[in-house]
Amino acid sequence: MDDPPPLQKIAISGPTLASLIHRFSTTTSSSSIDGLLFGHVTFVTPLNLSDDSSDTSQTLLATVTGFLTSSSFHNTSGTINTTSLRRLIPHNTSLLGWFSGRRRTPLRPSLREFTITSSLSSLSQFSSTIKANSDSNSNSFSSSSSSSLNFNPSLFFLLASPISDQTSHIHTHDYRAYQFITGTQSFNPVSVDIINIGPAFRGHYGSFIPNSPFPALDCQLSYSPMIRDDDDEKLSKMKQAAKDQRELDICSEGFEVGRLSKLMGSEAKNYTQSLEDLYLKMLVKIENLTALVEESSAKVLQQENHNKKLKHKILRSAAAE
């Protein structure tokens, strides 16, 4: 089996990294966490190209867009449960690899983590496809010929806290990313970029593919008074208008579908306020969804802690008997 192409960089958004560290920091002091990493792999062209430059090489970038905390995809010996793994991967999502977080240990992969990463990276059925233009005469990519590359889930993200006891209120968490090379059975350290807004990160957003595209809506809620429709056709149009409004409310609650027609065509520049209102309502919708996710995560974590305490209580009662 061929090795996946080597990564030059790994990118992760600030909120995703913060959420991952928060999930790691809220575990009990003696526990470790495992989970899966999702995202996409793309070739990014450097932004500092000039007219005199002949270097058209592209950077192979793995962007982590989400994670899932679960250790059910492997057993204690490091064997991957493909049935459980397939069930954990969301629809239309690419699996990049996995992560492990442990406390007061050195920031280097353990033998267990080596075994799990080696097993996971060998599963070609979970590989993702990279669309690229390949130049057979060099390692760069140009428009001379087209090829399709496969990237197996060979990414490993390790989190650890310092070995020394934390005596202050400031908690330190270290992390490091690796790509597992199957041919040499070794970890290759890869630099990590935290995506932010600005010119230096424009290449990341240039290859961004939304998971939830804006729905295609009719936008025409008013009809010519010269057209005489029967009651059935009027009812059908009213139902379609209500359906379009519900789809729009998923992205931007409170924004009328009829106002979308003003944001298309040559007259759109005259309705910048409507565009700003749409953007503002979309941000409010995202904030509300984020609050719901955080609240749900807190409840799930609270329930997990309650179950652990209940389990320990049952074990102590059984031992006493």
Q: Which fold has domain 9-206?
A: Cytidine Deaminase; domain 2 (3.40.140)
State the pLDDT at residue 142. 41
- Residue 135 pLDDT grade (very low, low, confident, very high; cuts 50, 70, 90): very low
Distance CA 115, CA 93 (A): 24
> What pTM did the predictor assign?
0.57
- Residue 305 pLDDT grade (very low, low, confident, very high; cuts 50, 70, 90): confident
State the pLDDT at residue 312. 84
The letter for the amino acid at 120 is L
Task: Dump pLDDT digits (tens) for 70-85.
Answer: 888 998 888 899 998 9
**Average pLDDT of the segment spanning 108-135:** 83
- Residues in CB range of 183: below 8 A, 6 or more apart: 3
Whether 40 contacts 210, CB under 8 Å: no
Locate CATH 3.40.140.10 in the chain: 9-206
**Average pLDDT of the segment spanning 56-76:** 85
Distance CA 59, CA 42 (A): 8
pLDDT(143) > 60: no
Higher pLDDT, 293 or 57: 293
pLDDT(118) > 90: yes
**Average pLDDT of the segment spanning 54-63:** 74
State the pLDDT at residue 207. 54
Give the DSSP per-residue string, 147-163.
Answer: EEEEE-S-EEEEEE--S
Percent of the chain residues past pLDDT 70, beyond the cut: 71
The helix (H) or strand (E) run that includes residue 66 is strand 59-69
